[in-house]
Amino acid sequence: MQTNAGNGEGQAVGSPKIITIVRNPLERSWSSYKYNYRQPLIDKLRKKDMKKKENHDDEWYKQNFVFSFEDLIAAELKALKQCLKPGGKAERAASYSYGIKQWATPEFSRRNRTGLPHMVVLDESCYGGKVSKSVPRRQWKNMVLQHPNKIINVQNLHLVQSLVGRSLYALPLEWWYALYPKKDLFLFCSEDLRFRTSQSMSSLTNFLGLPTFDFTNVTSTGMYNMGGNTGYDSVTEWDNGTRATEDIPISNELRKEYMEFVAPYNERLYEVVGKRCNWG
């Protein structure tokens, strides 16, 4: 495979077609908190208690053992602000690990020459290692000290550690858009699928070079894989699928801090993919 990194117009032999779906960053963080941290932890604790013939509702577990969404977001924001600052650990690590590699050198040079933001790899740079059994990531140290009875050491820590980081879509996608021709990458904003479903699917078939197809009868059925459904074959009617970002349990102050932090990364995303998402 040959690529012309940096201009998005290089020719590639056997270049893959890459499809990305992105959603409102705060909604994605909240969804990940529920499905990768809170519910798995409650299920684990309940299974253990059932063996002891104890029975508690979800609220009891949340109050006694589960860190809040705010706890995790505040801790990660603090860590990311330090790690991602200009000249910080993330930039230094990326330069050291990738800046001298033949395939990446042209893109690093182009960004330095034009003043574009530095490319980074979050998971390799910003989350650190294990501090102790109760503190599996350094960003949670103070949080655990303040709430020693609560539990953070769960499965899928790579997902729980990056509730915010995985919403910074530009950071991984900038690598893809540097390595592959732009014509071979396609991005959906989640609201495209929600409010312009048939048109969006038609755009995808055009991107893949497939025959024209009328998706109206398929998409009018409803949505699949919505929260609360079990399995990918459960349908939610369109009118029942609306979620309000305002309902996410986060204070106005932390919400503002979160949105201000992700805003420049949203702009980097829009710049690299050539379209905007309606995230307000």
Structural domains counted in the chain = 1
As given in the structure block, the two tokens for residue 161 are: 């550690």
* Percent over 70 (pLDDT), the chain: 88
Residue 241: which pLDDT band, with cuts at 50, 70 and 90?
low
Helices 69-83 and 252-273, packing angle to 10 deg: 50
* Percent over 90 (pLDDT), the chain: 62
Which of 278, 277, 119 has its CA nearest to residue 187?
277
Would you say residue 6 lies in a domain? no
**37-46, 101-110, 260-269: which has the minimum mean pLDDT?**
101-110
Instruction: For residue 267, give Cα distances in angstroms to 12, 168, 226.
Output: 27, 10, 28
* Cα 62 to Cα 136: distance, rounded to the nearest angstrom: 20
Do the beta carbons of residue 219 and residue 201 sit within 8 Å? yes
Which of 139, 156, 165 has its CA nearest to residue 38?
156
Render pLDDT for 209-229 as a digit per residue (tens, 0 to 9). Answer: 999 888 887 777 777 666 655
Would you say residue 46 lies in a domain? yes
Amino acid at residue number 258: Y
E-strand stretches of the chain: 18-22, 185-189, 223-224, 235-236
As given in the structure block, the two tokens for residue 38 are: 């809170």
Would you say residue 106 lies in a domain? yes
Amino acid at residue number 23: R
* Cα 267 to Cα 78: distance, rounded to the nearest angstrom: 21
Residue 99: which pLDDT band, with cuts at 50, 70 and 90?
confident
Would you say residue 10 lies in a domain? no
* Cα 127 to Cα 103: distance, rounded to the nearest angstrom: 26
Mean pLDDT of 227-256: 74
As given in the structure block, the two tokens for residue 40 are: 């798995």
* Cα 11 to Cα 43: distance, rounded to the nearest angstrom: 49
pTM score, whole prediction: 0.87
CB-based burial label for 86 (10 Å; 0-12, 13-18, 19+):
exposed
Q: Are strands 223-224 and 235-236 parallel, antiparallel or unpaired?
A: antiparallel
Would you say residue 186 lies in a domain? yes
The winner for highest mean pLDDT among 1-10, 117-126, 252-261 is 252-261
Would you say residue 123 lies in a domain? yes
Would you say residue 280 lies in a domain? no
Which of 207, 185, 177 has its CA nearest to residue 7?
177
CATH number at residue 218: 3.40.50
pLDDT at residue 242 in the model: 53
pLDDT at residue 196 in the model: 86
As given in the structure block, the two tokens for residue 62 are: 């949340």
Render pLDDT for 127-173 as a digit per residue (tens, 0 to 9). Answer: 988 898 889 999 999 999 999 999 999 989 999 999 999 999 999 99
* Cα 264 to Cα 22: distance, rounded to the nearest angstrom: 16
Taking all residues of the chain, what is their mean pLDDT, rounded to a whole number?
Answer: 87
Instruction: For residue 269, give Cα distances in angstroms to 22, 96, 139, 262.
Output: 10, 24, 26, 11
Would you say residue 5 lies in a domain? no
Question: What is the domain extent for residue 106?
Answer: 18-273
Residue 6: which pLDDT band, with cuts at 50, 70 and 90?
very low
* Cα 67 to Cα 61: distance, rounded to the nearest angstrom: 10
pLDDT at residue 239 in the model: 66
